[in-house]
C-alpha cells in the first residue's frame, strides 16, 4: 500500500501537470487536492530536492515542474517516497538485500514469483506519467459531466 505521503505527492504532481508552465502556491495545491498544508510543504520540499520541482520566491513565485510531465512516471515517485517497489527485499532492484531464509535464489520459487510481480508492477508504474494521469483525469471528468 502506498504511504499517505506518496499518495499526496502524486495528487499534487498530477494537479500541477494540468498546467505544466504555471507556478503554484502551496495553499492552492492544498485546497485543490485536499492535502493538509503543513504535510504538503514537506512533500514539495522532498520533490524539490529530488529535482522534480523548482521554486521561485516573491511576487509571481511558487512551485513549478522542472521536468516535462510526460517524463515523470509513477515508479520514480513511488521509489522517492516509499522506497522499494518489490514486496520482498530479495526481489528489489535498487534496494536489494539477500533473503535470510533462502538457500539459493536461483532455485527459489518464492523469489522468482515476487521478482515477476515486481517486474510487472514496475512496468505498469513506468507506463503511467504525470501527463498521462492528468489527461486521463480530464477525460474522466468530461465523461462524468456529460452523464450528469
Per DSSP, the three-state class of 34 is coil
CA–CA dist 13, 19 (Å, integer): 10
Q: Which ranges of 1-148 does DSSP label H, i.e. alpha helix?
A: 4-17, 26-33, 37-49, 74-82, 109-127, 130-147
Handedness of CA 69, 70, 73, 74 (dihedral sign): positive
pLDDT, tens only, 5-61: 999 999 999 999 999 999 999 999 999 999 999 999 999 999 999 999 999 998 888
Are 33 and 60 in the same domain?
Answer: yes
Domain boundary residue among 65, 83, 114? 65
Q: Which helix (H) or strand (E) holds 112?
A: helix 109-127
pTM of the model: 0.89
Pairing between strand 53-56 and 62-65?
antiparallel
Cell of 39: 504535510
pLDDT above 70 coverage of the chain, percent: 100
Domain that holds residue 39: 4-65
Are 50 and 8 in the same domain?
Answer: yes
Amino acid at each position: 500500500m502506498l504511504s499517505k505521503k506518496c499518495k499526496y505527492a502524486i495528487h499534487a504532481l498530477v494537479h500541477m501537470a494540468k498546467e505544466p508552465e504555471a507556478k503554484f502556491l502551496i495553499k492552492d495545491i492544498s485546497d485543490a487536492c485536499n492535502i493538509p498544508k503543513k504535510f504538503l510543504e514537506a512533500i514539495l520540499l522532498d520533490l524539490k530536492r529530488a529535482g522534480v520541482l523548482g521554486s521561485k520566491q516573491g511576487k509571481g513565485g511558487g512551485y513549478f515542474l522542472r521536468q516535462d510531465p510526460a517524463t515523470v512516471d509513477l515508479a520514480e515517485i513511488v521509489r522517492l517516497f516509499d522506497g522499494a517497489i518489490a514486496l520482498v527485499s530479495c526481489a528489489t532492484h535498487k534496494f536489494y538485500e539477500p533473503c535470510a531464509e533462502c538457500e539459493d535464489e536461483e532455485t527459489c520459487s518464492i523469489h522468482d514469483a515476487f521478482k515477476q510481480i515486481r517486474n510487472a508492477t514496475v512496468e505498469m508504474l513506468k507506463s503511467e506519467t504525470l501527463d498521462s494521469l492528468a489527461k486521463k483525469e480530464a477525460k474522466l471528468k468530461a465523461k462524468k459531466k456529460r452523464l450528469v
